[in-house]
Amino acid sequence: MSAKKYEERNEKSREGRRSHLLRKWMLIGVALTFLGLFIFLPLIVVFSEATSKGFELYLLALTEPDALSAIKLTLITAAIAVPLNTVFGVLAAWAIAKFEFKGKNILITLIDIPFAVSPVIAGLVFVLLFGSQGLLGPFLEANNIKVIFGIPGIVLATVFITFPFVVRELIPIMQEQGTDEEEAALTLGANGWQMFFRVTLPNIKWGLLYGMILCNARAMGEFGAVSVVSGHIRGLTNTLPLHVEILYNEYNFTAAFAVASLLALLALVTLVIKSFVEWRSEKLRSE
């Protein structure tokens, strides 16, 4: 190869490398701009708006009785919905992943319904079921049980909306693991409980935790379905997201953003735990 040709080729590859670099930085730039505009900026706005009238007002907005009751109700809802969906999620995932039965595909489709329908419709379904004009309304009224416009309705709607998280997370993990280890435990003399707690559970624990975190995030943040069934009674049936809406509609922006910042903070904590769990399970898988 002549020196000239060599130089030409070198020049070309240098050009190629430069355009490759250019493409790389352009892509990164676009992605970062997008993220900044749609994720970071709103977050910053939430926190800056919340504290714009001073830190004392911020704290006050979070500690007034209605806000505290909203926080309490949100925590109660999550405390019921997450364990319930964890238990049912494990059971459903187990049935689907490890057994063959008729109607399995229908069951898988049913599990996806809460994701497929709009949350508002989910809320309406509960109103139609338990409301005073609803299917079970007369019975509930006769027995003096209040579901709609009460805490039971909120919990029910939240359980419904957050049902798929744990199941969806566990099915692929359980399917991948098959039944060998469980069968081995049985042949070694373990009973059903020992098999579950010593073999099945340790194998799915990171996936399960991940599903529970997502379930919890949604349970605390759910708006649509809860809004339909809650009745928005201040201090009684208001969850955090509903409380934010009410404050906002009353032009009480500082308080609205203060409460919203609490939800945002919760989301951030959830994301950090989620990343940690992902990192842990990734590490375990690669070992």
Partner 1 sequence: MGISINGVSKKFHSFQAVDQINLTIPTGDFVALLGPSGSGKTTLLRLIAGLELPNSGQILFNDLDYTNKNVKERKVGFVFQHYALFKHMTIFENIAFGLKVRPRKFRPSKQEIKKKVYELLELVQLKEVANRYPSQLSGGQRQRIALARALAVDPEVLLLDEPFGALDAKVRQELRIWLRELHQKMNITTIFVTHDQEEALEMADTIVVMNQGKVEQIGTPQQVYDRPKNAFVYSFLGRVNEFRGEALGTVKDGCHLSDNYVGYLRPHEVHLSTIASDNSLPVEVFHVHSVGASVRIEIKRLDNDTLIEAELSADEYRRIGPFYKGDRLYANCDSIVVFQHQHILEDSLPKTVASTI
Q: List residues binding partner 1 (CB under 8 A).
A: 180-181, 183-191, 194, 198-199, 202-203, 287
What residues have CB less than 8 Å from 222, skipping those under 6 apart? 119, 157, 158, 161, 162, 239, 241
Contacts from 257-260 at CB under 8 Å and sequence distance 24+?
A: 257/46, 257/47, 257/49, 257/50, 257/52, 258/50, 258/51, 258/57, 258/58, 258/61, 258/62, 259/61, 259/62, 259/67, 259/70, 260/46, 260/50
Between CA 167 and CA 87 the distance in angstroms is 10
CA distances (Å), 22 to each of 13, 18, 27, 30, 119, in order? 14, 6, 9, 12, 44
In this complex, which beta carbon is closest to partner 1, that of residue 61 or of residue 204? 204
In this complex, which beta carbon is closest to partner 1, that of residue 56 or of residue 287? 287
Rg (Cα) of the chain, in Å, rounded?
26
Question: Which one-letter amino acid corresponds to residue 209?
Answer: L
Burial of 62 from C-beta contacts in 10 A (0-12 / 13-18 / 19+): middle
